[in-house]
Amino acid sequence: MTNRVIAIDGPSGSGKSTVSRAIGQKLGFLHVDSGALYRIVTWQGLLHGVDPNDAAAVAAFAGRLAVEMTAVDGAVRFSVGGVEPGDAIRTAEINAAVSPVSKVPEVRAKVTAWLRDLRRLGDLVVEGRDIGSVVFPDSPARFYLDAAPEERARRRHLEEQAKGLPKQDREAVMASLLNRDRIDSSRAVAPLKVAEGALVIDSTRMPIEEVVATVISHLPEEWREP
């Protein structure tokens, strides 16, 4: 039997990471942050002098890039040449460059193939933008989390502060987030959108536990117990 996949899509700050980590822990599914793979391609590209707006150069670079993927403590961890990126993939520079990089069809094809291959490691809860629409459209467990932009910017800002990342004010966080939303939603290949048949959950005023409980209550019955 192929391993099971729970797909959690949505824009930045919609609560995907917190919710998908919590579900993974509760049910014993490995957590996969697909955005981290797009960020790793971007990070490595910048380190190697690739212009993120040069689609042909980005495509050629992504074709050569190897990423190691291993299951550790309930999540899939990524590294390049044995080095885990940590917060190096969460900087303002990566935030600005990752949307143009993730528009490149060859990059999307590569990340999609990586994600599908991860099923060999176990049951997965995968968060991203196109997981239910493109990567795992056959999964019976596909969700789309959303929240008002102000609330999403507030969450991202708190997250960045908690991580001790260089200070950006709330307006700057909001502008960068809205800009990524715009590029992610309008790109030609696999734009951010609600997959047909996915359940939409608006988390603007919902505590995280309630979002987690809502997702779990909509899973196939036999998936709900760890």
DSSP element (H, E) containing 9: strand 5-9
Between 34 and 44, whose beta carbon lies closer to ligand DC? 34
> 16-27 vs 208-217: helix axis angle to the nearest 10?
60
Side-chain-facing half-sphere of 16: CA atoms under 13 Å: 28
> Helix count (H) and strand count (E) of the chain?
8, 7
CB atoms within 10 A of CB 111: 23
CB atoms within 10 A of CB 164: 8
Residue 146 near ligand DC by CB under 6 A: no
Q: Encoding tokens for residue 129?
A: 């933008």
Q: Encoding tokens for residue 70?
A: 């291993």
Spell out, one character per residue from 24 to 63, where the chain touches ligand DC: x when CB under 6 A holds, - when not. ----------xx--xx------------------------
Residue 160 near ligand DC by CB under 6 A: no
**From 5, 62, 124, 131, residue interacting with ligand DC (rule: CB under 6 A):** 131
**From 44, 99, 176, 203, residue interacting with ligand DC (rule: CB under 6 A):** 99
Phi, psi angles (nearest 5°) of residue 128: 180, -145
Counting residues that bind ligand DC (by CB under 6 A) gives 14
Query: Of 17, 47, 4, 9, whose CA–CA distance to 129 is shortest?
Result: 9
Between 24 and 128, whose beta carbon lies closer to ligand DC? 128
Q: Encoding tokens for residue 186?
A: 């309008």
Between 160 and 184, whose beta carbon lies closer to ligand DC? 184
- N- to C-terminal Cα separation, the chain: 17
Spell out, one character per residue from 163 to 182, where the chain touches ligand DC: x when CB under 6 A holds, - when not. -----------------x--
**From 14, 100, 184, 198, residue interacting with ligand DC (rule: CB under 6 A):** 184
Between 179 and 224, whose beta carbon lies closer to ligand DC? 179
Cβ at position 68, least distance to ligand DC in Å: 19
Cβ at position 115, least distance to ligand DC in Å: 8
Residue whose token pair is 């040069």: 54
Between 102 and 203, whose beta carbon lies closer to ligand DC? 102
- Contact footprint for ligand DC (CB under 6 A): 12, 34-35, 38-39, 98-99, 102, 128-131, 180, 184
